[in-house]
Each structure stands twice: as C-alpha cells, then as structure tokens.
Chain A
Amino acid sequence: MRWGIRRMHYNVPAGLYAVGEPTPESPVLVTANYKLSFDLLRRELSGKDLWLLVLETYGINVWCAAGKGTFGTPELISRVQKVQLDRLVKHRTIILPQLGASGVAAHRVKKATGFRVTYGPIRAHDLPLFLSNGMKASATNRRIHFTLRDRLVLTPVELVGAWKPSLVILLLVFIFGGLSGQGFSLQGALSRSLSPALIYVGALLMGSFVTPILLPWIPGRAFSLKGSQIGLLWALIASLTLASTWSVGSIIALFLIAPAITAYFAMNFTGCSTFTSLSGVQKEMRIAVPVIILCIFAGGIALMLDKFL
C-alpha cells in the first residue's frame, strides 16, 4: 500500500474517534485520514485514553495534505464544529502534528473555534512522552530527519511510478533492436535488445533506488547531479560487461543516455525528501531537464548514425 498500489482507496472516514475510554478532560489529537498514519497513531497511543479527530484529507498523509491545504485551517475549523467538540470536552486545547503546521494557522483556529492549537512532536512515537510531559516537545522531537530507513521505505514508490513509462521505453528498445538496413527482424530484435533493456533497467534502479540510498554521501547538492554520477558509474560497469562488444557509436550513446536516465529518476526523488524547497527544485529542473533531454537526444543520434551509416 505504501508502494502506491491502491493507495488512493485506502482511507479512514473523517470524524471523531475514541482511543481507550476518554473523558471530557482527555486530550484531543488531530490527524489525517491516511490509514497508515491512523493505524500507527492508534498503536503508539494504546493504553491511553484520548480523543482522535480525523480530518478529511482524501487518504493523504498529514504533511502532503498540509502542503496543499486539505489538512488546513478551514477543514479543521469545520470538523471541530461538526463534531461539536466544545460540548464534548471541557478544556480548549487541540494537539496537531507539527508537520501539519504548514496548512494550519493556529491563531485563526483559535479565533473561529475557541480552541488553542498546540503542535506536538513530528513522530507518533514521541507522543506518549509529549503527553506525559505537560505537552512539551523537546527540540530534537521537533526536527525532521531523513534516515536510511526513511529513504528505503520511500524508494518503492518511485519504482512503481516508473513501470508504465518503462514498458513503453522497453518496447521502443525492442523495436529499435529489430531494425537494421534490411528492415525489421524478430531475430535481430531478440538478440540485440536484451543488453540495452538490462542497461535501461539498471539505470532506472541506479536513479530511483541506489541514489536515494547513498544520497548523503554522493558529492553535489542537486539530486540530478548526484544521480548522474551514479549513472556514469553504471555506464562504466555496463561498458565493461553487457556492452563490452559494442561499437564506438553505441558506447558514446551509452555514456550519454544512461547517466541522463539515472539523473532523471534521482531528480524525481526530491518529492520524497525532507529538505528540498520549491525554489531549489525549480532551479535544479531549469538546468537539469534541458541537459537530460539534450543528452538523450544526442545519444539517440549516435545510435542512429551507428546503425544506419
């Protein structure tokens, strides 16, 4: 499910939920209706008595929903009013995940509902301590990290997202392999497209799996620049193995196209990361996208010249 398969059909109905046996004095936690978040929250809070107010974010997690405003001030205000929270609890505090802060203006919620918004820790795991600590999150609980494990669980999403365009590309590789001066032959397609297909799949994995894993250790700041280095390495490995018998023209194409593919998939990982800004990614793309297109185009010309001249 986290892999993006049917993720959009996996949500919890918005509304008020009870964890344990809450009373009018129990704290109120607010979350999104993404099932993974909801389940994780309930697991971390088992044994506690409290209220859980689930907002309608269409199955999207808190951070992404806050980014586009569905986990936002209007939805929070209307949900608080809809469940008549002011009649249910005696206190006037609601606890939001810190990652929801980019969608919610605490002062406007206070003005409209009377409830004071307190931002809790980033991770559900730190919630019990936060609650027993008089609702104070330590500075470390307020910082986001991007651990190897975080990156590992996010890479499959990129791979799943890439399979459709990849099928088209592999089909093109197959057709191009079959073409020669004498027209198309199935025999030629089968024998000549295997290595390029494997090299493509390798470049895809280098960009959407290896680069994210090695991210902090690859020189450079732009994701595409990091990816292109891994892609060059892959081209070098391929030229010594799968492509060891290739002509000069094909090898040139290999060194142009493979790093471009890897750079492209590495660049797409920006959305999964926890530290890229809109201005930064825009700047990266204004340079990287034309370079990637140019490299693939030049590589294509090299392949054509090599095959038909």
Chain B
Amino acid sequence: MGFQYLRDVVTLELDNDKCTLCGMCTKVCVHGVLAIQGKGIQILDRDACMECGACAMNCQVEAVTVRAGVGCAWAIFNDWFKKTGVSEHQTTCSTE
C-alpha cells in the first residue's frame, strides 16, 4: 500500500572509500534515499530509489553509481520494439 514500488530491484551502489562527504547526492535526491551519517554516505531507504541518476550524475568522484533510467512502461516497450526492429514507434515523451 502507499507509494512503495517493487522491493530489492534498485541498482544504487555506494563506495564510501571514494566519498568526500560533499553532500551533493543528498541534496539532489527527491526521495531522501541518501544521507550523510557519521563518516560516510548511507542508504536510508533503498526501495524508495527511482534510479533517476541525479546523485551519480552530480558526484564528482563516482562514489555513487546507479543504472539510471526512466521507470516508464512505454519507454521500455519502445526499447523492446527498437531491439527487435519491429517498429520505430514513438511516444510523446520520447520524441526528440
């Protein structure tokens, strides 16, 4: 119930050896997944991550990594069709 999506699927990873504690990743995350606690970054709520990639994008030292993408069924359908070469069908969101 509520706004929780599937469990244990998220690809978010941390490398605290690289982290400089700049705090940028905690600022850009819209779900408050990351926080500085003690001497490193912690994942507070892994399942709340939507893999938007903002944290990894704004990490200068690549301490945060995630396979970023859009959690959209239409975009994934498009991907499937492109791979099989069935159609170049485009939806509103993916029109360049």
Contacts and interface: CB of A to CB of B under 8 A. Distances in A.
A299 interface: no
A279 B24 contact: no
Contacts of B74: 268, 271
A8 B71 contact: no
Contacts of B24: 106
B27 A119 contact: yes
Interface residues of A, number: 53
B52 A102 contact: yes
A223 B72 CA distance: 11
B63 interface: no
A142 B32 contact: yes
A165 to B, nearest CB: 11
B19 to A, nearest CB: 14
A216 B74 CA distance: 21
Contact of B71 (A7, A216, A278): A278
A273 B74 CA distance: 12
A271 B73 contact: yes
Interface string B68-79: 111111111100
A45 interface: no
Interface in B16-53: 24, 27-32, 48-53
Interface string B55-96: 001101000000111111111110000000000000111111
B65 to A, nearest CB: 13
Nearest to A282: B76
A60 interface: yes
Nearest to B96: A58
A161 to B, nearest CB: 7
B73 A267 contact: yes
Contact of B1 (A60, A104, A216): A216
Contact of A277 (B3, B5, B73, B91): B5
Contacts of A146: 3
A222 B48 CA distance: 14
B84 to A, nearest CB: 13
Residue with the greatest number of chain A CB neighbours at <10 A, chosen from B27, B53, B54: B54
Interface of B: 1-7, 9-11, 24, 27-32, 48-54, 57-58, 60, 67-77, 91-96
Given A271-B71, A279-B11, 9 more contacts: A58-B96, A68-B94, A98-B54, A273-B71, A275-B5, A277-B5, A278-B69, A278-B71, A283-B9
